[in-house]
A and B are shown apart, each in its own frame.
Chain A
Protein backbone atom coordinates (compact mmCIF):
# COMPACT_ATOMS: atom_id res chain seq x y z
CA UNK A 1 0.00 0.00 0.00
CA UNK A 2 1.27 3.43 -0.92
CA UNK A 3 2.11 5.49 2.15
CA UNK A 4 2.21 9.16 2.99
CA UNK A 5 4.65 11.11 5.12
CA UNK A 6 3.68 14.31 6.91
CA UNK A 7 5.30 16.47 9.58
CA UNK A 8 3.96 15.61 13.02
CA UNK A 9 2.99 19.16 13.84
CA UNK A 10 2.91 22.70 12.49
CA UNK A 11 1.99 26.11 13.84
CA UNK A 12 0.44 29.06 12.12
CA UNK A 13 -0.71 32.51 13.08
CA UNK A 14 -4.35 33.35 12.66
CA UNK A 15 -5.28 35.06 9.38
CA UNK A 16 -2.09 33.80 7.69
CA UNK A 17 -1.82 31.15 4.96
CA UNK A 18 -0.78 27.64 5.91
CA UNK A 19 0.99 25.16 3.67
CA UNK A 20 0.74 21.56 4.85
CA UNK A 21 3.12 19.25 2.96
CA UNK A 22 2.74 15.57 2.19
CA UNK A 23 5.16 13.16 0.56
CA UNK A 24 3.88 10.11 -1.28
CA UNK A 25 6.82 8.91 -3.33
CA UNK A 26 5.33 5.43 -3.95
CA UNK A 27 2.06 6.72 -5.36
CA UNK A 28 0.71 4.77 -8.32
CA UNK A 29 -0.87 6.23 -11.43
CA UNK A 30 -4.44 5.60 -10.33
CA UNK A 31 -4.14 6.73 -6.69
CA UNK A 32 -6.11 9.81 -5.76
CA UNK A 33 -4.79 12.18 -3.09
CA UNK A 34 -7.33 12.99 -0.37
CA UNK A 35 -7.09 15.41 2.53
CA UNK A 36 -9.21 15.18 5.65
CA UNK A 37 -9.07 16.87 9.00
CA UNK A 38 -10.15 15.63 12.38
CA UNK A 39 -11.15 17.44 15.53
CA UNK A 40 -10.94 15.66 18.90
CA UNK A 41 -13.64 13.02 19.41
CA UNK A 42 -15.05 13.52 15.93
CA UNK A 43 -14.83 11.63 12.67
CA UNK A 44 -12.63 12.94 9.86
CA UNK A 45 -14.02 15.77 7.78
CA UNK A 46 -13.40 15.86 4.02
CA UNK A 47 -11.30 18.81 2.87
CA UNK A 48 -10.28 18.24 -0.74
CA UNK A 49 -9.01 15.63 -3.19
CA UNK A 50 -7.30 15.44 -6.56
CA UNK A 51 -5.50 13.24 -9.06
CA UNK A 52 -3.06 15.30 -11.12
CA UNK A 53 -4.22 18.89 -11.45
CA UNK A 54 -4.33 21.48 -8.70
CA UNK A 55 -7.75 21.79 -7.09
CA UNK A 56 -9.56 24.60 -5.31
CA UNK A 57 -12.70 24.59 -3.20
CA UNK A 58 -14.22 26.81 -0.56
CA UNK A 59 -12.15 25.24 2.19
CA UNK A 60 -8.70 24.95 0.68
CA UNK A 61 -6.45 24.46 -2.33
CA UNK A 62 -4.50 21.37 -3.24
CA UNK A 63 -1.24 21.72 -5.12
CA UNK A 64 0.05 18.47 -6.63
CA UNK A 65 3.64 18.15 -7.82
CA UNK A 66 4.14 17.36 -11.47
CA UNK A 67 5.62 13.94 -10.64
CA UNK A 68 2.79 13.41 -8.08
CA UNK A 69 5.27 12.35 -5.42
CA UNK A 70 4.23 15.17 -3.15
CA UNK A 71 1.34 17.53 -2.56
CA UNK A 72 0.54 20.55 -0.43
CA UNK A 73 -2.69 21.51 1.23
CA UNK A 74 -3.09 25.27 1.36
CA UNK A 75 -5.37 27.01 3.83
CA UNK A 76 -5.49 30.57 2.57
CA UNK A 77 -6.31 32.27 5.87
CA UNK A 78 -6.04 30.13 8.97
CA UNK A 79 -8.65 30.60 11.67
CA UNK A 80 -8.78 29.13 15.15
CA UNK A 81 -11.38 26.67 13.89
CA UNK A 82 -8.81 25.23 11.48
CA UNK A 83 -6.82 23.78 14.36
CA UNK A 84 -7.05 20.03 13.82
CA UNK A 85 -5.12 16.97 12.71
CA UNK A 86 -4.80 16.98 8.93
CA UNK A 87 -4.46 13.68 7.11
CA UNK A 88 -3.09 13.20 3.62
CA UNK A 89 -4.39 9.90 2.25
CA UNK A 90 -3.91 7.95 -0.91
CA UNK A 91 -6.92 5.96 -2.01
CA UNK A 92 -5.64 2.63 -3.22
CA UNK A 93 -7.70 0.49 -5.57
CA UNK A 94 -8.10 -2.93 -3.97
CA UNK A 95 -10.21 -5.24 -6.10
CA UNK A 96 -12.40 -2.35 -7.23
CA UNK A 97 -12.80 -0.77 -3.79
CA UNK A 98 -10.82 2.33 -3.02
CA UNK A 99 -9.76 2.03 0.59
CA UNK A 100 -7.90 4.62 2.64
CA UNK A 101 -4.65 4.04 4.43
CA UNK A 102 -4.23 6.81 6.98
CA UNK A 103 -0.79 8.13 7.81
CA UNK A 104 0.16 9.81 11.06
CA UNK A 105 -1.21 13.23 10.08
CA UNK A 106 -0.09 16.76 10.93
CA UNK A 107 -1.41 18.45 14.05
CA UNK A 108 -1.99 22.09 13.13
CA UNK A 109 -1.95 24.64 15.89
CA UNK A 110 -3.32 28.09 15.08
CA UNK A 111 -2.10 30.94 17.24
CA UNK A 112 -4.36 33.88 17.95
Chain B
Protein backbone atom coordinates (compact mmCIF):
# COMPACT_ATOMS: atom_id res chain seq x y z
CA UNK B 1 0.00 0.00 0.00
CA UNK B 2 1.50 3.35 -0.99
CA UNK B 3 2.28 5.79 1.81
CA UNK B 4 1.34 9.42 2.20
CA UNK B 5 2.70 11.54 -0.63
CA UNK B 6 3.32 15.27 -0.59
CA UNK B 7 4.13 17.59 -3.46
CA UNK B 8 6.26 19.46 -4.04
CA UNK B 9 9.09 18.29 -1.79
CA UNK B 10 10.89 21.62 -1.92
CA UNK B 11 9.64 25.12 -2.59
CA UNK B 12 11.26 28.55 -2.57
CA UNK B 13 9.07 31.63 -2.47
CA UNK B 14 9.48 35.31 -1.66
CA UNK B 15 7.68 37.36 0.95
CA UNK B 16 4.17 38.36 -0.02
CA UNK B 17 3.63 35.46 -2.39
CA UNK B 18 1.20 32.64 -1.79
CA UNK B 19 1.79 28.91 -1.94
CA UNK B 20 -0.29 25.74 -2.25
CA UNK B 21 0.91 22.40 -0.95
CA UNK B 22 -0.66 19.07 -1.80
CA UNK B 23 -1.12 15.85 0.17
CA UNK B 24 -2.41 12.47 -0.99
CA UNK B 25 -3.30 10.23 1.95
CA UNK B 26 -2.96 6.47 2.18
CA UNK B 27 -5.70 4.77 0.18
CA UNK B 28 -8.79 4.38 2.36
CA UNK B 29 -7.76 7.02 4.86
CA UNK B 30 -10.29 9.81 5.24
CA UNK B 31 -8.61 12.07 7.78
CA UNK B 32 -5.80 14.40 6.79
CA UNK B 33 -3.95 16.62 9.24
CA UNK B 34 -1.36 19.28 8.54
CA UNK B 35 1.55 20.29 10.75
CA UNK B 36 4.25 22.92 10.65
CA UNK B 37 7.69 21.92 11.92
CA UNK B 38 10.37 24.47 12.77
CA UNK B 39 13.54 24.14 14.87
CA UNK B 40 12.23 26.63 17.42
CA UNK B 41 8.61 25.54 17.81
CA UNK B 42 8.77 21.87 16.92
CA UNK B 43 5.70 20.25 15.41
CA UNK B 44 2.63 22.48 15.57
CA UNK B 45 -0.84 21.35 14.53
CA UNK B 46 -2.39 23.42 11.75
CA UNK B 47 -5.71 21.74 10.97
CA UNK B 48 -7.46 18.46 10.30
CA UNK B 49 -9.90 17.56 7.57
CA UNK B 50 -12.27 14.62 7.52
CA UNK B 51 -14.83 13.96 4.80
CA UNK B 52 -14.11 17.32 3.21
CA UNK B 53 -14.82 19.24 6.42
CA UNK B 54 -12.38 20.98 8.71
CA UNK B 55 -12.73 19.28 12.11
CA UNK B 56 -9.96 20.87 14.16
CA UNK B 57 -7.87 23.97 13.83
CA UNK B 58 -4.67 24.96 15.56
CA UNK B 59 -3.56 28.40 16.61
CA UNK B 60 -2.41 29.81 13.28
CA UNK B 61 -3.46 33.03 11.51
CA UNK B 62 -6.09 33.05 8.80
CA UNK B 63 -3.36 33.19 6.14
CA UNK B 64 -3.15 29.45 6.59
CA UNK B 65 -6.07 27.61 5.05
CA UNK B 66 -6.82 24.23 3.61
CA UNK B 67 -9.35 22.04 1.95
CA UNK B 68 -10.06 18.40 1.28
CA UNK B 69 -11.48 16.88 -1.86
CA UNK B 70 -13.94 14.03 -2.25
CA UNK B 71 -11.06 11.61 -2.90
CA UNK B 72 -9.55 12.64 0.48
CA UNK B 73 -6.64 14.47 -1.13
CA UNK B 74 -5.92 17.72 0.66
CA UNK B 75 -4.32 21.02 -0.13
CA UNK B 76 -2.93 23.65 2.17
CA UNK B 77 -2.59 27.28 1.17
CA UNK B 78 -0.54 30.02 2.75
CA UNK B 79 -1.13 33.56 1.55
CA UNK B 80 1.03 36.65 1.97
CA UNK B 81 4.07 34.63 2.93
CA UNK B 82 6.32 35.84 5.74
CA UNK B 83 9.91 34.90 6.48
CA UNK B 84 8.70 33.05 9.58
CA UNK B 85 6.63 30.71 7.43
CA UNK B 86 9.80 28.93 6.37
CA UNK B 87 9.35 25.42 7.70
CA UNK B 88 8.80 21.77 6.94
CA UNK B 89 5.09 21.25 6.33
CA UNK B 90 3.96 17.74 7.14
CA UNK B 91 0.78 15.98 6.22
CA UNK B 92 -0.52 12.95 8.12
CA UNK B 93 -3.38 10.64 7.27
CA UNK B 94 -5.55 8.43 9.45
CA UNK B 95 -8.25 5.92 8.70
CA UNK B 96 -10.78 7.50 11.03
CA UNK B 97 -11.11 9.99 13.88
CA UNK B 98 -11.17 7.51 16.72
CA UNK B 99 -9.26 8.63 19.78
CA UNK B 100 -6.79 5.74 19.52
CA UNK B 101 -6.28 6.19 15.84
CA UNK B 102 -2.83 6.06 14.34
CA UNK B 103 -1.56 8.63 11.91
CA UNK B 104 1.02 8.19 9.20
CA UNK B 105 3.17 11.03 7.95
CA UNK B 106 4.33 12.01 4.51
CA UNK B 107 7.90 13.15 3.81
CA UNK B 108 6.94 16.81 4.04
CA UNK B 109 7.32 19.90 1.89
CA UNK B 110 10.29 22.11 2.75
CA UNK B 111 9.18 25.72 2.22
CA UNK B 112 11.77 28.47 2.18
CA UNK B 113 10.60 32.08 2.15
CA UNK B 114 13.17 34.64 1.03
Chain A complexes with chain B: no
Interface residues of A (CB under 8 A from B): none
